[in-house]
């Protein structure tokens, strides 16, 4: 005869499978206490995880802001260097006007 899960050579009469497990009130209380401790630890881990996640999001936002500012600073000198020669250099017609007015 096969066992309850289809295992060969196991039967309910062998005494291996005993559905009449009896636990005392103390054992249930101990199990309940352990489950409460596990639940408390899991709550603490969840709180720490949420805190770390929030700090990570803040760090990422700050990092994005710094990179954006650095890119703006890097492109600003290039743009202003290109603009300055145009402002400093006078066209030949402007140079002649300046020379005539003196």
For residue 67, being part of any structural domain is answered with: yes
Please report whether residue 63 resides in a domain: yes
pLDDT digits (tens, 9 = 90+) for 22-50: 889 999 999 999 999 999 999 999 999 99
Residue 57 domain-assigned (yes or no)? yes
User: Is residue 61 a part of any domain in this protein?
Assistant: yes
Signed CA dihedral, 61, 66, 69, 70: sign only: negative
Q: Are 65 and 57 in contact (CB under 8 A)?
A: no
62: domain range?
A: 45-76
Tell me whether residue 64 is in a domain.
yes
User: Locate tokens 């005993």: which residue?
Assistant: 18
Helix H or strand E segment including 31 = helix 25-88
pLDDT tens digits for range 42-87: 999 999 999 999 999 999 999 999 999 999 999 876 655 555 555 5
Count of structural domains within the chain: 1
Largest CA distance in the chain: 123
Give the Cα separation of 15 and 21 in Å (integer). Answer: 12
pTM of this prediction? Answer: 0.47
């Amino acid at each position: 005869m096969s066992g309850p899960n289809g295992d060969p050579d196991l039967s309910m009469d062998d005494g291996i499978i005993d559905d009449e497990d009896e636990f005392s009130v103390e054992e249930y209380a101990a199990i309940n206490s352990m489950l409460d401790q596990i639940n408390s630890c899991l709550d603490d881990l969840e709180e720490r995880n949420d805190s770390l996640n929030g700090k990570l999001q803040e760090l990422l936002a700050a990092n994005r802001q710094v990179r954006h500012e650095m890119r703006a600073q890097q492109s600003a000198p290039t743009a202003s260097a290109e603009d300055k020669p145009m402002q400093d250099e006078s066209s030949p017609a402007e140079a002649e006007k300046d020379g005539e007015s003196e």
